[in-house]
Amino acid sequence: MSSSTTTSNSKIRILVVDDEPDILLTLNVILSGQGHYVKTFDNPAEALSHLTSSSGVSPYYDLVITDHRMPGSGISGLDLAKRVKEHNTRREKTKVFLMSGSFNESSLPEEFIEALKSEIVDEFIQKPIPNEKLIAIIEKSFSHNKNH
């Protein structure tokens, strides 16, 4: 069987967290369409309890894509990123992409810069992002990962 995609990567397990349902829907369609396994949450607290569920084995994801600002939830995307990285110390590292519509590459707040430096956040994504660009970032992020 030949694959129609350019990368022969095995499918990536992706968790998407955003308080905007249309963004969740779009990302789900796009990423599932690429052959990846996608699970979405519109509430970071629920996503966190899903990730750290103590009932047996907590689910493993290769990638968490989270929005930074999710008003009313009490948890920011950066908080979620920190918790994901803390929780995954004993396993292969889960990558975290942090999305924000409030900042761009040239005006990142200090805490984002620190998070990128310390690898709490693997990629910063400015919203809105074209679908092709997001797919390219994911492919790039996981293609050179195979030979570590």
As assigned by CATH, the class of the 13-143 domain is: alpha beta
pLDDT score of 56: 61
- On the CB side of 125, CA atoms within 13 Å amount to 26
Taking each helix axis from N to C end, the angle separating 77-87 and 110-117, rounded to the nearest 10 degrees, works out to 20
Dist. CA 142–CA 137, nearest whole Å: 9
Domain ranges of the chain: 13-143
pLDDT score of 54: 63
pLDDT tens, position by position, 64-123: 999 999 988 899 999 999 999 888 765 568 999 999 998 878 889 999 999 999 999 999
pLDDT score of 89: 60
Dist. CA 95–CA 148, nearest whole Å: 14
Question: 37 or 73: whose pLDDT is higher?
Answer: 37
Task: Please say if the pLDDT value at position 15 is more than 90.
Answer: yes
pLDDT score of 53: 76
| 3-state class percentages of the chain: helix first, strand second, coil last, to nearest 5 | 40, 15, 45
pLDDT score of 86: 86
Token pair belonging to 127: 């919203």
Phi and psi at 66, nearest 5°, equal: -130, 145
Dist. CA 95–CA 125, nearest whole Å: 13
Question: 3 or 119: whose pLDDT is higher?
Answer: 119
